[in-house]
Amino acid sequence: MANVQVIQRHAHLASAVKLEFVNGREGKVAKAVLTAISNSRRGSGEERSEEATAIQWTLWAKQAEHAAEYLGKGSHVNIVGRVRNNHYQDGDGVEVYGLAFTVDEIDYLDSKAEGEARRAREGAGDPAPAAPSTPNSNRKARSERQPAHA
Report the alpha-carbon distance of residue 150 to residue 146 in Å, rounded.
12
Encode pLDDT of 56-96 as tens digits. 999 999 999 999 999 999 999 999 999 999 888 999 999 99
pLDDT in tens, 11-34: 999 999 999 999 988 899 999 999
Distance, in Å, from the CA atom of 101 to the CA atom of 6, rounded to the nearest integer, reads 8
Fold for 4-41+50-139, please state it. OB fold (Dihydrolipoamide Acetyltransferase, E2P) (2.40.50)
Whether 144 shows a pLDDT value over 50: the answer reads no
**Interval 41-51: pLDDT, tens:** 888 878 888 88
Is pLDDT above 70 for 134? no
Number of residues that make up the chain: 150
Q: Give residue limits of the domains in the chain.
A: 4-41+50-139
Query: What confidence tens digit (pLDDT) does each residue in 101-131 have?
Result: 999 999 999 988 888 888 788 776 644 444 3
Q: Does 140 have pLDDT greater than 50?
A: no
